[in-house]
Structure 1
């Protein structure tokens, strides 16, 4: 089996989605099956339908033989990059300087509505008390 040195993103794989440029992903490995389309026992249409996508489920459902799995090694061009598509979000911690300034800014924004609510409540209480 050739050494795999290249990592491909799913976006890169998706760009190779034509009969004359056909890549698929199976079990985290990227395969260029363009030259295999005419030789595929299930027909070229099966591979073309899976091109540019992760075809692991379809591959496993078809019940490929051990020979078929060994033959795939000849078409492997790399691995799917395991990096998530969406970068992880930063978690704010109490000891984080940005986090504490963020918290104090949030408190400042709540101070005005809270003071307004308290002031209105006092005015309503005074008006209610005068009517009695």
Structure 2
């Protein structure tokens, strides 16, 4: 996983019903390999998953460092998570995260500034955190806003 050459998976991609999980696994693998570039494992967005599932980020990193694939990592998470949510609770949490918008003026200003820097100041479709992350990944690797 080399995040200096391509972005991690979209935060919308799900594993075990969880949004964010495939993306944070990509960032974790890249951090282990020393190829994370500008991406950060255990960033505030990742911590939303860790808090919801009740998984320690260092314990997960240890599992990932053993070379486990996504399925094996998910099995470890399901066995070791502190919060045993049902499938519908995970689906509700994921749907909420997918539609979450910046909750404070500082975060809204940050998003607006970054979207404008990417050349998308007139775009009306960038409203959620996931919209912003997808746009940022796209523009970072040569796409146009």
- Tell me the TM-score range normalised by the shorter chain: under 0.3
TM-score (structure 1 length as normaliser): 0.26
* Higher CA-based Rg: 1
Q: Which has the higher contact order (CA 8 A, sep 6+)?
A: 1
TM-score (structure 2 length as normaliser): 0.25
Higher strand share: 1
